A and B are shown apart, each in its own frame.
Chain A
Amino acid sequence: MTLTLHDATFALLALLTLGAALGVVLARNIVHSAFLLVLTFLGVAGLFLTLDAGFLGLVQVLVYGGAISVLVVFAVMLLMSEQAGQTNPPGASRFTRWAGGVGAVALALALGAAVCTTAWEPGSGPRPEAVAELARLMLGDYVVPFEAAAVLLLLAVVGAIILAKGEDGR
């Protein structure tokens, strides 16, 4: 098996994503964690692009890079404490740190095992245009989950407003 340019790109992007994700956990300043999280999201978007899923990659950029990131930073600003440098301290006890680490490795192993044991079927023949195919599935076969997504978004908005009003005391 030879290393192609595609593999190298994948490796670089995976390293970037994982490194940034590790930074999110390890950074002492929660604002740095938030910005590193954005980098993680963009790394994942890059991985989508290498998989020839351009539209999904752009969705990742728009929703995670442009919207979730703003939400996270605003949430951080809302809860900001005086000592910016120590807002994201590592776990209080040695036990919680080890438990977190072991849990993360176990989750990674479980996901890896699932990926390795699944019989992937590479698609054959000319692929339909991704956006059009998405629209067909969304409004055809999967119309109920599609409308459920709208209800979910509605509930998220309503719930957040109720919570925020409690916080605000108005």
Chain B
Amino acid sequence: MEELILDIGRWLVSGLQGLGLSAAWADLVLLLVQWGCIVGIVTANVIVLIWLERKVSGFIQQRLGPNRLGPYGVFQTVADAMKLMTKEDIIPSGADRTLFVLAPMLFIIVAVMLYVVLPMGRDMAIVDLNVGLFYFISVGSLSTICLLMAGWGSHNKWSLLGAMRSVAQMVSYEIPLAFSLLGVVMIVGSLNLGDIVAAQQRVWFVLLQPVAFVVFFVAATAELNRGPFDMPEAEQELTAGAFTEYTGMRWALFFLAEYTNLVAVSALASTLFLGGWQGPLLPSWLWIIVKTYLVMLVFMWLRWTFPRIRMDHLMSLSWKVLIPVSLANIVVTGAGLELFRAMGW
């Protein structure tokens, strides 16, 4: 079972070479298949996740959630997806059409590009990049600019205000996010996600770096614009923030990208702090799925449990609490490692 997916890949490459394709072309076809799998799984998974989110919120709020279409309402989001496909396409009259059209497309592209470096099992990253962690952070930072494009392009006050707030929040929380991961990097001495997983053979980093994990988790929640940090798209105040004017497929792309980001960040959290794909009995690719889903359930639990945080408190939390704490964590980790070495353990 462990080698199942890798075997399929090898079988595909050797089969193609048997048909007379050169090695480079066979690799290209393999990449195409991998890409197709990622896009397919991401899309299908979002449908499951939205159903799950609605069921979890229903459970927490003591109601049933979707329960009409199929057993436990599992086909509800399928129906929703079909509905979104058949919605007419409305571009508001004053909109900056180019930016309005491009924004959701670029947003989903940025989200999918994050999956290139994630190890989805033993030796199962599409690119085993040396600077994988840094790649994740820098590519992830590009989503802010897509939100600004959406907010500006819509020519709507809600949209622009929502986008500006969203971006102000996301840039504020990007710093503690990046700083909290430094403790892990210092211990491992590598930015390669595979190396980071391998270094957790004996003990998960959530135990060695508990403060970093908490800072990372809070910052990631804010970075994903999820509750209780969903101020930028607070329905009661800003309608839907940057997404106000979007309808049909364009809106669906934004929604898809948000959940795609959620999966990517949860997978990163499991990789960095929860031992990645390592675990007993089950094959590695199943372990990462289990851990990612557990992390996502915690994200959902937080979202439906805490009330929304006020905008000024939200900014203060990042700059006046998380950044000092994560800087202190770097210094303490450094001092600890130096002590560790000085004592010759």
Q: Chain B residues with Cβ under 8 A from A62's Cβ?
A: 134, 137-138, 141
Stretch at the interface among B3-11, B49-57, B144-152, B317-325: B144-152
Contact A69 B145 (CB under 8 A): yes
A89 to B96, CA, bound (A): 18
Q: Chain B residues with Cβ under 8 A from A54's Cβ?
A: 129-131
Contact A65 B142 (CB under 8 A): yes
**In the complex, per-residue mask of A51-75: 1 if CB is within 8 Å of any chain B CB, else 0:** 0001100110110011101100110
Given that A35-B149, A65-B145, A70-B144 are contacting pairs, would A131 and B139 also be in contact in the complex, using a CB cutoff of 8 Å?
no
Q: Chain A residues with Cβ under 8 A from B149's Cβ?
A: 35
- Give the size range of B's interface with the partner: 20 to 34
Which residue from chain B places its CB closest to the CB of A77 in the assembled complex? B164
- Give the size range of A's interface with the partner: 20 to 34
In B150-191, the 8 Å CB interface with A consists of: 152, 164, 167, 171, 174, 191
User: Residue B99 at the A interface, CB < 8 A?
Assistant: yes
Minimal beta-carbon separation of B250 from chain A (angstroms): 18
Contact A66 B167 (CB under 8 A): no
Q: Chain A residues with Cβ under 8 A from B130's Cβ?
A: 54, 129, 131
In B244-263, the 8 Å CB interface with A consists of: none
Contact B134 A66 (CB under 8 A): no
User: Residue A13 at the B interface, CB < 8 A?
Assistant: no
Given that A54-B129, A129-B130, A131-B191 are contacting pairs, would A59 and B148 also be in contact in the complex, using a CB cutoff of 8 Å?
no
Contact B134 A55 (CB under 8 A): yes
Q: Chain A residues with Cβ under 8 A from B145's Cβ?
A: 35, 38, 65-66, 69-70, 73
Contact B131 A65 (CB under 8 A): no
Residues of B at under 8 Å CB distance from A? 96, 98-99, 129-131, 134-135, 137-139, 141-142, 144-145, 148-149, 152, 164, 167, 171, 174, 191
Q: A35-B149, A54-B130, A58-B139 are in contact. List 9 more A-B contacts (CB 8 A).
A: A31-B99, A54-B129, A58-B131, A65-B141, A66-B144, A67-B171, A69-B145, A74-B167, A131-B191
Residues of A at under 8 Å CB distance from B? 29, 31-32, 35, 38, 54-55, 58-59, 61-62, 65-67, 69-70, 73-74, 77, 129, 131
